[in-house]
A and B are shown apart, each in its own frame.
Chain A
Amino acid sequence: MSDTESRDSREVEQSDTEDGYEPRDIFGTTTEMDLRSGADNCTKVGTCDAECPVAEVDDDFPGPQFQGPEQWRLSSKGDVEIDDSVTKCSNCLRCDSGCPSGVPFSEMHNTARAKYVLEDQPLSIKKIRNRILANYRTSAWLASKLPRTANFFMNNGIVRWLMEKTMKIPSEREFPEFATQTFREWWAERGGEATSKERAQEARAQRGDAPVHSDEKRVAYFHGCYSNYNTTQVAKSMVRAYESLGYEITVPKQKCSGTPMFANGRVDDARRHAKVNVEHLGDAIEDGYDVICTCSSCSLALRQEYPDLFDLDGIDELAAHTYDALEYLRIHEDLEAELEGATVDAPDVAYHAPCHSRNQGLGRQAVELFADVDGVAVTDVGDSCSGISGTYGWKAEKYETSMAIGEEMFEHMEAVDAETGMTECPTCAMQMEHGTGYEIMHPIEVLETALT
């Protein structure tokens, strides 16, 4: 067929509409999430499988290319059950960043996992355990009522032996310590928003860089579960650092971001929590606040997973107004000038960039930020995954895989001339501590020391 012939035939086909062409709706409309375009984008180049840290250590895991586009095609053909290997995916999102064709892996995996757990997975101890792990907020809330007792029992040998036997929670792991006072209790005792406003205004008056009374410089803090119930020092550092720069803070009502729920297929639970978050954070956004997070998985959930998975009023506005706590200051403040000449009294640190920070493009910001600050040397330990992936490493049957993935990071941490670790993700921090015995800091803690 020559060029002219083929062209003519196309023109004939199109000539029945006024503009010469009218797109036709071939696939019909549907209210279900349509991932067909994602599956069609896949060219089977296999970079996703090459980047996958689970496929790297586990030959029984078919890899993201199967879990995403191939399984979608299979299951859309009819009554095919989702393969249970989807529960082996750790939700690190490296397939997302590796794909040259924009296949929405995480969205496909979350959807497939939810379908598997909610429709296909038979009831078992593991299924119940996964739901308990997914709803960490509930356990943490209970534990926070009697934190000292909880701390005693959760790391008691007999209790842990029983937990391993009955609930398949690996006894090797150390349970995170519960704070004797939650961040929210501390915040309320300190005087909440009113105190924050006062302190921010004092700072603004001292700095003279912004009007003392102004509606600018206001942030709503999404602390998530972990810095509320466990590492409250991270949340407090964030408050002090932001106030010292003149920011007024509010701490809206909130629930779990949903990260552990997506990873365990409990999209039903996640949706309930998301509704509360979108409503209350949305109110703050309407009042002129931006939302900031200190946990990289929380910010990822609010920014990416929410609009991917849920159709709620205000969800896109929330995604567009949510930032990581350091990222926000890098955009709105001249941090280089703020930190010029600053000396901090902090140990040198081996820094691990969490997968969920890297996925937001934030994997290098902590290293860059502290490069010229005296008193702390920050060394990046490279691009390996820590392997814990939230609740993943908290399952007895995944423990070995989790530690095998983490091996490279542990080695790199040991090779660095530092005895302390640093990361933004609370579960990466657990894994770093578990593998090396180091104490682990959050970058915002170092920033607070430098600024105040």
Chain B
Amino acid sequence: MAIDSDVLVIGGGIAGLSAALSAAREGAEVRLVTEAETTLHHASGLLDVLGYTPDGEGPVVDPFATIGDLPDSHPYAIVGERTVRDGLAMIDEVLGETYRGEHTDANALVPTHGGTVKPTARYPASVAAGLASDDRDVLLVDFERLTGFDAGVAADHLADGGIPAETSAATVEFPVTVRDDAKVTRYAHLLDENPTVTVDGRDRHVRAALADAIDPHTGDAKRVGLPAVLGVDHPAEIRAELGERLDAAVFEVPMGPPSVLGTRLEDWLYAVLDDAGVEIEAGGGPIVNFDADDRTISEVYMDRSGSPIPYGAEQYVLATGDVAGGGIDSDRDGVAEPIFDCHVPHPSDRYEWFNDDAFGDHAFVTFGVVVDETLRPIDDADDPEFANLRAAGAVIGGYDYPAEKSASGVSIATGYAAGRHAAREV
């Protein structure tokens, strides 16, 4: 016996979540297994499609218009522009008002915590007022003791980048004295709960006291940017209250991990999957093995402290990520996809896998499985490895997502397509 479903999705990143959602929408019984339930806590929360071309040209103005120019082996070329749009439309629909960007094909330019600007197709509503293309004057605010965001550096960097607005910066004391290296979630929960604090002998709620602290610095600024810590549960409410008190548009600046924007996105997508009837099993261990008969997978096995836990399905989606995510593995002898041992093309000389320049073009970034037009991994003779296995997201090779800024878009598009193909075979 095994724990059964129609479609089993392996992996809990954007690709896995997209695949599970699209399969469930096709009517399949879907189960998603993920090694950790906190995968997106490390994500920026921005959903990019294509920021730069594979040749390094950019930022790209219209990522959709660029898809036609990509090499045939690129995941976007394999699924086609239409699927990229349909996948995004699925995500737009479920995220609703919480995300922006669907009104245009053009990339938005989102300022991030170092003051660099990231081209992205979709972004949380909470960062909308911060776009670099906006000409309203902007004040960036950081907190004493909060690491990971220096408003002064970010404001200078943005100004150097030539944004069409005056930038200024201020550092304020957060109204609750937290410990020196408190994490972003600590601030976020304080703003969610909004307890009363005493500031200068006055009893104030935390949000009001924070606005009091920022107010003297606003000057002519019509926009105020804060580190992305404005609540996990009530971000819209917190932003609205601060905006009203400051008489300015308040926005969040995306930060590195652990990320409140990523955590919120995960909460929302998990809730969407729950509503769609997807069973989620998180944190139980990695999938390490499988049984197959005549190139058809019958069961896969999770390793839970040495006990093999069997999961059975008619169709499987592999969304385990790339080298960094553990979906592709390497040792001195070669590069491999560790669960099903799908074919991963790579140079036999391992000194060709990387570049000595840390920021150079590393071959390993593009390592991954090769897929056919229905996203089935294929072997070195171009035959499907298994009749009922599909791949989605960064486990697919042939593109350099960190350089292209295409991680989310490829995950959504291939996840959407793999989920649909899988569900339609059930």
A residues bordering B, Cβ < 8 Å?
1, 3, 6-7, 10, 21, 45-47, 49-51, 55-56, 59-60, 62-63, 97-98, 100, 303-304, 307, 316, 319-323, 327, 330-334, 336, 358-365, 368, 383
Closest chain-B Cβ to A123's Cβ sits at a distance in Å of 30
Q: Residue of A at shortest CB range from B38?
A: A98
Interchain CB contact under 8 A, B189 and A56: yes
Interchain CB contact under 8 A, A363 and B282: yes
5 nearest A-B residue pairs (beta carbon): A361-B284, A320-B306, A303-B305, A59-B179, A50-B258
Contacts of B4 in A (CB 8 A): 336
Interchain CB contact under 8 A, A321 and B186: no
The answer, yes or no, to whether B165 is at the interface (CB within 8 Å) is no
**Measured CA separation A359–B38 after assembly (Å):** 12
One of B178, B304, B332 near A360 (C-beta < 8 A): B304
**Measured CA separation A365–B304 after assembly (Å):** 15
One of A7, A45, A361 near B285 (C-beta < 8 A): A361
Closest chain-A Cβ to B183's Cβ sits at a distance in Å of 4
Interchain CB contact under 8 A, A359 and B283: yes
CB-defined A-B contacts under 8 Å, sample of 18: A3-B355, A3-B356, A45-B256, A45-B257, A46-B183, A50-B41, A50-B183, A56-B189, A100-B42, A320-B307, A321-B307, A322-B307, A334-B1, A360-B283, A361-B282, A361-B283, A364-B280, A364-B281
The answer, yes or no, to whether B279 is at the interface (CB within 8 Å) is yes
**Measured CA separation A100–B233 after assembly (Å):** 23
Contacts of B184 in A (CB 8 A): 50
Contacts of B1 in A (CB 8 A): 331-334
Task: From A361, A364, A383, name the one whose CB has the most chain B CB atoms within 10 angstroms.
Answer: A361
The answer, yes or no, to whether B199 is at the interface (CB within 8 Å) is no
Please report whether the interface of chain A is mostly helix, strand, loop or mixed according to DSSP: helix
Interchain CB contact under 8 A, A303 and B283: no
Interface string of B170-185 (1 = CB under 8 A from A): 0000000111011111
**Measured CA separation A97–B37 after assembly (Å):** 7
One of B3, B36, B178 near A100 (C-beta < 8 A): B36
**Measured CA separation A368–B184 after assembly (Å):** 32
Interchain CB contact under 8 A, B284 and A47: no
The answer, yes or no, to whether B288 is at the interface (CB within 8 Å) is no
Interface string of B287-327 (1 = CB under 8 A from A): 00000000000000010111101100000000000000000
The answer, yes or no, to whether B153 is at the interface (CB within 8 Å) is no
The answer, yes or no, to whether B359 is at the interface (CB within 8 Å) is no
**Measured CA separation A336–B183 after assembly (Å):** 43
Contacts of A332 in B (CB 8 A): 1
Interchain CB contact under 8 A, A59 and B182: yes
Known: A59-B182, A361-B304; 4 extra A-B contacts, CB below 8 A, are A49-B181, A55-B186, A56-B185, A361-B33
Contacts known (A21-B332, A333-B1); A6 close to B356, Cβ less than 8 A: yes
**Measured CA separation A336–B31 after assembly (Å):** 15
Contacts of A46 in B (CB 8 A): 181, 183, 257-258
**Measured CA separation A47–B1 after assembly (Å):** 37
Which B249-267 residues have a C-beta within 8 angstroms of A? Answer: 256-258
Contacts of B236 in A (CB 8 A): none
Closest chain-A Cβ to B24's Cβ sits at a distance in Å of 14
Contacts of A50 in B (CB 8 A): 41, 183-186, 258
Contacts of A45 in B (CB 8 A): 42, 256-258
**Measured CA separation A343–B305 after assembly (Å):** 35
Q: Residue of B at shortest CB range from A327?
A: B309
Interchain CB contact under 8 A, B307 and A98: no
Interchain CB contact under 8 A, B186 and A56: yes
Closest chain-A Cβ to B180's Cβ sits at a distance in Å of 9
Closest chain-A Cβ to B216's Cβ sits at a distance in Å of 27
**Measured CA separation A358–B42 after assembly (Å):** 19
Closest chain-B Cβ to A428's Cβ sits at a distance in Å of 17
Interchain CB contact under 8 A, A97 and B38: yes
**Measured CA separation A321–B309 after assembly (Å):** 11
Interchain CB contact under 8 A, B38 and A47: yes
The answer, yes or no, to whether B2 is at the interface (CB within 8 Å) is yes
**Measured CA separation A336–B29 after assembly (Å):** 13
Closest chain-B Cβ to A8's Cβ sits at a distance in Å of 10
Interchain CB contact under 8 A, B305 and A304: yes
Interface string of B181-204 (1 = CB under 8 A from A): 111111001000000000000000
Interchain CB contact under 8 A, B356 and A1: yes
Contacts of A383 in B (CB 8 A): 37
**Measured CA separation A60–B181 after assembly (Å):** 11
Closest chain-A Cβ to B418's Cβ sits at a distance in Å of 23
Closest chain-B Cβ to A377's Cβ sits at a distance in Å of 15
Interchain CB contact under 8 A, A47 and B42: yes
Q: Residue of A at shortest CB range from B31?
A: A368
Interchain CB contact under 8 A, B351 and A7: yes
Contacts of B305 in A (CB 8 A): 303-304, 307, 319-320, 322, 360
Closest chain-B Cβ to A51's Cβ sits at a distance in Å of 7
Interface string of B332-369 (1 = CB under 8 A from A): 10000000000000000001000110000000000000
Closest chain-A Cβ to B31's Cβ sits at a distance in Å of 9
Contacts of A363 in B (CB 8 A): 37, 282-283
Contacts of A56 in B (CB 8 A): 185-186, 189
Contacts of A327 in B (CB 8 A): 309
**Measured CA separation A364–B282 after assembly (Å):** 8
One of B37, B256, B307, B355 near A303 (C-beta < 8 A): B307
Closest chain-B Cβ to A373's Cβ sits at a distance in Å of 15
Contacts known (A47-B41, A307-B305); A331 close to B283, Cβ less than 8 A: no
**Measured CA separation A365–B306 after assembly (Å):** 20
Contacts of B307 in A (CB 8 A): 303, 319-323
Interchain CB contact under 8 A, B351 and A319: no
**Measured CA separation A1–B358 after assembly (Å):** 13
Interchain CB contact under 8 A, A59 and B285: no
Closest chain-B Cβ to A14's Cβ sits at a distance in Å of 11
**Measured CA separation A178–B258 after assembly (Å):** 44
Contacts of B355 in A (CB 8 A): 3
**Measured CA separation A333–B310 after assembly (Å):** 12
**Measured CA separation A327–B356 after assembly (Å):** 48
Closest chain-A Cβ to B218's Cβ sits at a distance in Å of 29
Q: Residue of A at shortest CB range from B309?
A: A331
**Measured CA separation A359–B281 after assembly (Å):** 11
Contacts known (A320-B306, A360-B284); A331 close to B2, Cβ less than 8 A: yes
Closest chain-A Cβ to B291's Cβ sits at a distance in Å of 15
**Measured CA separation A248–B42 after assembly (Å):** 46
